[in-house]
Chains A and B, each alone.
With several copies, the nearest count.
Chain A
């Protein structure tokens, strides 16, 4: 299988030495806090040494995947579903997940008057993007509740993938009955949405451990094969960043907000960011064991092609680092190298 070949290449050839430049993508979003903090605190730069770091900010997963596929970036923070998607679409040739980044932080927020899943019949709900992590989660949850949905907005519950900012506006204006969103939008909708906005389902409740991946670190397969040293340095920065977030829980909101303000021009309200951070956990474990379920859900929701994700993970570099630090290695769940 090609992915196995790529993996072997990374192992055997040790590439062509460190890259001159690492182009990293991320979103200006709370669930991408390791990236924001790593950049803000200079953790990546420290780790990368001579390799120049350039960054690109994306609004949504597809754009990041497109940039990755077109070779415009080398690595990106992204949700698990777009990662699965590109891996399957490219028959395993496009990219590998090298680490986890964030867990949790998504929820279904609905208007007044919807208090149980049964009340959702005939409503219109938004998700950030067709086939993204929250979109798939909403569809599979609705299916488990016995509602039919489809990707064209039909069915018992109408799902309309809409940009997050638009979702807030539409919800305020009454054009939407609810939305399954990641942080900080859950908190923003609760704070600014009006119309009695409240959480109907917290995604954390759906998974047996309350742990499900929201953000992972994805690296272009070719880059990984050619410059494992650089990826290792990136991972060093990433691990340091996650550790920083763990250690500085009180400073984190301000640091994240500063990064957000630099990117989007507007900081989040204090209560929004603190509520958001309460619901997100940062961890380098990608929780690989949940991915088979994610694939099954995506298939069921009709947002994904059928295909193997065997080889999606390449956690060897991460585990090397963790080993050096003396921490527990993480598992690839049988879906790649660990």
Chain B
């Protein structure tokens, strides 16, 4: 039966009154059942979700400054916001801040990318090959429980104070997250979608590429996001603990240095930078990625958050 024959209307069918009736009825119902798109009000979103935290942080800083001005505490135990700002400025001027941020970011991003390259095929393999998964899955989940900071001493013994140590720790932190994210993403693919794929005539290969992988994307992205968080955490741990040797100067090293100089303003400044980078990466890289994907799938919850 050729395709076109199936769709061919009997002559005059489109003008058949009963059919027209049905069409107008369906159109009316469709109109009633779909809400007009409400344009998200950017200004409102800004005032309700961006302004309050900023105001709160500013108030916090003001209170802190006030406290410092009034009680005049020992500056080495309670530096004021101005001193912390000065510490950031100083580090910037001397170029140490840029160097540290560049080094840490490079390591974090590179380590994360390696983790993605390692974790993705591993995750796919575990998700699709049942016996492997039974055997290795629990071990990977277990590794996720292990604080990656615990790997630092072992890595130092193996690789000395070199960048290999840092990358090893980052990998041990990020890979289990990514693998588990991908596995749970594949698990959450509704079995119905696989069956539809089969019914539509997809073989295993096209089923995987056209159905399973796109369907598992939300879990995978969530895993990537968490993997990044773990990369960043592990990196900081490694940098703080493993200082010296041929290890470059990252944010963790900067933190440790400030601590050795008993420079609390410098410590707090570095913490703020680390926090800012973490939030920034999340806002700039993962949040839009996730939001776009969820919006396309209609999984985004109402903007109450």
Residues on A facing B (Cβ under 8 Å): 56-63, 65-73, 82, 85-86, 89-91, 93-94, 124, 126, 129-131, 150-154, 160-163, 165-167, 169-170, 173, 175, 302-305
Contacts and interface: CB of A to CB of B under 8 A. Distances in A.
Contact of B262 (A59, A71, A82, A163): A82
Contact of B161 (A66, A130, A131, A304): A66
Interface SS of B by simple majority: loop
B246 to A, nearest CB: 6
B156 interface: yes
B125 to A, nearest CB: 31
Contact of B244 (A59, A86, A152): A59
Contact of A72 (B77, B100, B161): B161
Nearest to B165: A70
Contacts of B160: 66-73, 170, 173, 175
A304 B260 CA distance: 11
A64 to B, nearest CB: 9
Nearest to A176: B245
A90 B75 contact: yes
Nearest to A159: B244
A67 B155 CA distance: 11
B62 to A, nearest CB: 23
B282 to A, nearest CB: 27
17 contacts: A61-B260, A62-B259, A67-B161, A67-B245, A72-B160, A72-B161, A72-B162, A73-B160, A91-B75, A91-B76, A94-B76, A130-B261, A150-B94, A150-B96, A151-B257, A152-B96, A175-B245
A94 B74 contact: yes
Contact of A66 (B74, B94, B253, B262): B262
Nearest to B94: A302
B157 to A, nearest CB: 6
Contacts of B162: 70, 72
A56 B76 contact: no
Nearest to A266: B261
A302 B259 CA distance: 15
B76 A90 contact: yes
Contact of B76 (A73, A89, A126): A89
Contacts of B246: 56, 72, 124, 160, 175
Interface string B100-114: 100000000000000
A63 B94 contact: no
B99 interface: yes
Contacts of B94: 150, 302
A131 B261 contact: yes
B244 A85 contact: no
Contacts of A86: 76, 262
B74 A126 contact: no
